[in-house]
Amino acid sequence: MSSHHSPDPAQDRWDVHRLPPAEGRTFLVTGGNAGIGYFVAEQLAGTGATVVLGSRDSAKAEAAMASIRSRVPGARVRRVPLDLADLSSLKASVDALGPHGLDAVVHNAGVLLDEPQRRETGDGHELMFATNHLGHFALTWWLAPLLTAAPASRVVTIGSFTAKSVDLDDLQSTHGYQPKRAYARSKLAQMLFGFELDRRLRAAGSSTLSVVVHPGGALDSLTPSRPPFHVRTAGARLRALPLGVLLQGKEAAAWSAVRAVLDPSVRGGQLWGPRVLGMRGLPAPEPVRGILADTELAARVWAASRDLTGVDPSSRFG
């Protein structure tokens, strides 16, 4: 990571454990019932904001909300049903949010398959590309009126470092399917979406910002327990200790997304990730370069996503 883009750590006053208050604001976290999304929701709930978990599983969402309430006294947290793999269901999810403004959405939910068989959604799209990218692309269209109704709202998209080493010649991995490659493609498409969205928002004169973040490398075995849905045994904790040199837990992996939601100094079009080799540590801005800065590719992926979903999120902001 080039250092000229990073704030001097000694000058950086952002404290991940003392977040600015955000009473009266509302944040939606997709996949907020587990993993990194859970910790994004828990940390945002600590600001006094209303946090909405977008979750396809009501029992898991209930468990996550109970955990947040037990740790954050007076937490304002609720759930809307959300299945990103079913494009026709998204309208109902956004209707359930209610008519109020939305200050930020964190596009966190993601699926990483490892079986060798390629899978498709009911809409006929490759499952990881559909869930991780197309679902969030279309959700942004549905959310646009709520985001526009809030002052200086933000769309925060969670990408991955794996995205930088893949091509997008076959968006939906129809030839020679490899699960890791299909996943990386979905994450690259998401990151290009986040950058392209910001360019389009600026062109439209919108006050909404789009910010891309990535969590580094996050393991459940380095993640503190949140019973009943995540329990780390003492043995697992010990075995994972050496991995902590390079990687981190999901609580820390949430920090970049939380900062991208809350920090007034974060700008649209930026990329934030963990400071130490982009794998672990406190959030820092990273240069946007290489394939992530390919505006022609981003425009091509945008057009393909618009054709596949039938909506163009940028047409609804302004």
Ligand X SMILES: NC(=O)c1ccc[n+]([C@@H]2O[C@H](COP(=O)([O-])OP(=O)(O)OC[C@H]3O[C@@H](n4cnc5c(N)ncnc54)[C@H](OP(=O)(O)O)[C@@H]3O)[C@@H](O)[C@H]2O)c1
- For residues 56 and 83, the answer to whether their CB atoms sit within 8 Å is yes
Q: Contacts with ligand X in 111-130 (CB under 6 A)?
A: 111
Strands 271-276, 280-286: pairing is antiparallel
**117-121 CB contacts, 8 Å cutoff, 24+ apart:** 117/177, 118/173, 118/174, 118/177, 118/182, 121/85, 121/86
Choose which of 29, 43, 45, 56 interacts with ligand X (CB under 6 A).
56
Cβ nearer to ligand X, comparing 250 with 259: 250
**167-171 CB contacts, 8 Å cutoff, 24+ apart:** 168/192, 168/297, 168/300, 168/301, 171/129, 171/301, 171/304
Residue 82 interacts with ligand X (CB under 6 A): yes or no: yes
Reduced to 3 states (helix: H, G, I; strand: E, B; else coil), residue 115 is: coil
Cβ nearer to ligand X, comparing 215 with 313: 215
Contacts of 253 by beta carbon, 8 Å cutoff, 6+ apart: 36, 39, 215, 216, 218, 274
Could you identify the residue written with the tokens 């019973």?
227
Q: 183 catalytic, yes or no? A: yes
Q: Whose CB is nearest to ligand X?
A: 35
Choose which of 19, 25, 27, 31 interacts with ligand X (CB under 6 A).
31
Q: Contacts with ligand X in 161-220 (CB under 6 A)?
A: 187, 214-215, 217-218
C-alpha angle 121-169-191 in degrees, rounded to nearest 5: 70
Marked catalytic residue, from 27, 38, 129, 183: 183
Task: Work out how close the CB of 75 gets to ligand X at its nearest, in angstroms, rounded to a whole number.
Answer: 18
Residue 158 interacts with ligand X (CB under 6 A): yes or no: yes
Is the bond preceding residue 228 a cis peptide, omega within 30 degrees? yes
Cβ nearer to ligand X, comparing 35 with 285: 35
Choose which of 108, 172, 210, 314 interacts with ligand X (CB under 6 A).
108
Residue 84 interacts with ligand X (CB under 6 A): yes or no: yes
Per DSSP, the chain holds a count of helices (H) and strands (E) of: 10, 8
Specify the stretch interacting with ligand X by CB under 6 A; choose among 79-87, 202-210, 269-277, 297-305. 79-87
Between CA 109 and CA 179 the distance in angstroms is 17
Task: Work out how close the CB of 112 gets to ligand X at its nearest, in angstroms, rounded to a whole number.
Answer: 6
Residue 93 interacts with ligand X (CB under 6 A): yes or no: no
Active site positions, annotated: 183
* Interface positions with ligand X (CB under 6 A): 30-31, 33-37, 56-57, 60, 82-85, 108-111, 131, 158, 160, 187, 214-215, 217-218, 250
